[in-house]
Amino acid sequence: MRQIRLRILSGLLTGALLLTPAMAFTDTGGHWAEAAVNKWSQEYGVLQGYDDGSFRPDASITRGAFAGILDRFLQFQSAAPAGTFSDTGGNRWEDSILKLNAAGVYLGSEGKALPGDSITRQQAMTMVARAFQLGGSSDTLTYHDEAQVANYARPYIAELSARGWITDALDNSFRPTESLTRAELVNLLNNMIQVLIQTSGDYSSNVEGSLLINAAGGASLSNMTVSGDLLIAPGVTGAVTLDNVTIAGELRNLSSVTPQITNTPTEAPITPSAPVTPVPPAPPEEPGTPGSGDDFDWGIVVVPTPVDPNAPSAPEQPAGPGIQPGEVYTPGVTTGETFDYSDRKIPVYAGTERSRLQHGDFTWSADHPDRLVYNGSQFRTRFGIDVSAYQNRASENETIDWQAVRNDGVDFAFVRIGLRGYSSGKLAEDAFYRQNIEGAMNAGIETGVYFFAQAITVEEAIEEADFVIERLRGLNINGPVAYDWEMGNASYRVYGIDPAMATACAIAFCKRIQEAGYTPMIYQSTYVGYVKYDQGAIAPYLCWFPEYKSDQSEKLCPTYYYQPDYWQFSSKCSIAGIGGNVDANIQFIR
């Protein structure tokens, strides 16, 4: 029999946490994660550092490298097709990313994996929870900054917190949008797994904590106790036998192998964990949009469809084809010119306006370092924000001080009025939309609204518009009504929708809004604007474009081919009267 704790972990994080043999690192002494780093490097001889003898515990990790670590840890087998993402070809982490994508762990954003971007803490926790098939928890997060946690990550962070695995939230602050560091990753994995069996064989020796088997050939355990969980990784294809093994926690089988259990101790029978109830996958893992529409949105009120209990049930009718794109709009005319976008040739449409904004037109404000200022001469500009229930939850008494917002130089605001769930398709109102609209208007701020749309038919787009119109009755807003249709990844119900239908939905919404006396606007990311929308057909409507900048940005101007009317340039602006981060926008007035 092998003794489990005698160096059974060879090679755990090699290649991802890099280069030198295990030794005492020059920069981990006194670091808060020193014990975890030393355990995985010196005790097990598997954690590696850099050629200069450092470990760099506070350095960030890229999304690609993170995928490599999870893949090495769990040994995923199946991979998504090579063309799944437009930016992974030739990348050293492509194989791991495609494996995690096939497993529903790594979803990317708008067809891109963004492998070179630093992974944020909330993205990392989400991927870890998915990788270990943790279904998520509905528990309320108690971190001081919990209002900043994206909806897609909330149940996963709650689950990891409830299990006691997140131990680096100093001062009870989770810091969801900060980059995950190497030390934080080591600490998390150390909290989750105490022992790893990576080589097939026979093992007997008690384990204090949780044990993970990821040896492809399986393993045989006998006459031992595991005080935590016993996990079998997805990459295990050989036999796993448990003879007289006591498991105080759960037997979590992530593989396709059925473990053979014999001589189960009567005082602690082994019961495989119940099937995991999956949480709907995350929205796009990219900087914030005007407020995600996922079905765990804790700032919404789901509105059921009214049902007349006395109405006779109508006979079921076969579904018709519905309103077709050709009944909604006439396709735009292309000029024959094209421009390049992500290995695609994008056609230029007649009647559209090319962007006149340049890098030298913008500087960071001296008075407000997180705000861009337009210094060009072709437009007048105004500064504005967009808000949703997230900002209310982060503010004192869940109330935005709109007069303080106005005094801080905000000229206009877009208030989220509602959404359609990206998975369920249910319509819901933002719990604070009326309060925010009335507060902003009373403070003298020009006020518009946006609706997070997920229409897949023209009928649904009209339904969304009517939903908005009904809630605007009596509010007399004086700003645009924006159609915010987003397609982050394959979990979105709109994923794969035909561009003609996507365009028809946007135009049907805008026409309905315009008929009601409001000014329609279309929120369009680069991918949706270039690939899903007929720009010639939507040219009559205002354009709201998101592209976030920082002091590290190569260009301080929007890189969109078309001229936006509004540019959402940041998701991390500080505004007086509002708690937490706020999306910031510039309006360009001709």
Distance CA 453, CA 280 (A): 17
Q: pLDDT confidence of 342, banded at 50, 70, 90?
A: confident
More confident residue, 566 or 280: 566
**In the prediction, which pLDDT does 369 show?**
94
Query: Which range, of 414-418, 492-496, 547-551, averages the lowest pLDDT?
Result: 492-496
Domains recognised in the chain with CATH numbers: 61-180 (no CATH), 195-262 (no CATH), 300-306+318-589 (3.20.20.80)
Buried b (16+ CB within 10 A) or exposed e, 288-308: bbbbbbbbbbbbbeeeeeeee
**In the prediction, which pLDDT does 223 show?**
94
Distance CA 56, CA 50 (A): 8
Q: pLDDT confidence of 13, banded at 50, 70, 90?
A: very low
CA-nearest of 502, 444, 443, 441 to 472 is 441
- Residue 148 zone, left/alpha/beta (φ > 0; ψ -120 to 50; rest): alpha
Q: pLDDT confidence of 22, banded at 50, 70, 90?
A: very low
More confident residue, 275 or 574: 574
Helix, strand or coil, per DSSP, at residue 471: helix
Query: What's the whole-number mean pLDDT along residues 574-579?
Result: 94
Query: What's the whole-number mean pLDDT along residues 259-266?
Result: 80
Q: pLDDT confidence of 374, banded at 50, 70, 90?
A: very high
**In the prediction, which pLDDT does 109 show?**
84
- Residue 37 zone, left/alpha/beta (φ > 0; ψ -120 to 50; rest): alpha
Query: What's the whole-number mean pLDDT along residues 212-220?
Result: 93
* CB-CB contact of 512 with 307 (8 Å): no
The dihedral sign for the CA sequence 88, 92, 93, 95: positive
Q: Identify residue 316 by its one-letter amino acid code.
A: E
**In the prediction, which pLDDT does 588 show?**
98
**In the prediction, which pLDDT does 47 show?**
60
**In the prediction, which pLDDT does 496 show?**
83
Helix, strand or coil, per DSSP, at residue 225: strand
230, pLDDT greater than 50? yes
Of the chain, the end-to-end C-alpha distance in Å amounts to: 79
Give me 262's structure tokens: 């014999």
pLDDT in tens, 145-168: 899 999 889 999 999 998 899 988
More confident residue, 319 or 526: 526
298, pLDDT greater than 70? no
Strand ranges (E), 498-548: 520-523, 542-546
267 by Cβ neighbours in 10 Å (0-12 / 13-18 / 19+) ranks as exposed
**In the prediction, which pLDDT does 552 show?**
85
Query: Which range, of 47-56, 216-225, 256-265, 579-588, averages the lowest pLDDT?
Result: 47-56
**In the prediction, which pLDDT does 303 show?**
54
**In the prediction, which pLDDT does 481 show?**
98
**In the prediction, which pLDDT does 287 show?**
35
Q: pLDDT confidence of 43, banded at 50, 70, 90?
A: low
489, pLDDT greater than 90? no
Q: How far is CA 301 from the centre of its chain?
A: 22
More confident residue, 228 or 51: 228
pLDDT in tens, 444-477: 999 999 999 999 999 999 999 999 999 999 999 9
Q: pLDDT confidence of 114, banded at 50, 70, 90?
A: very high
* Average pLDDT in the chain: 85
User: By percentage, how much of the chain surpasses pLDDT 90?
Assistant: 59
570, pLDDT greater than 90? yes
Query: What's the whole-number mean pLDDT along residues 223-241?
Result: 93
72 CB contacts (<8 Å, ≥6 apart)? 11, 12, 13, 14, 15, 16, 96
297, pLDDT greater than 70? no
pLDDT in tens, 120-154: 999 999 999 999 998 788 888 999 889 999 988 99
**In the prediction, which pLDDT does 296 show?**
36
**In the prediction, which pLDDT does 425 show?**
84
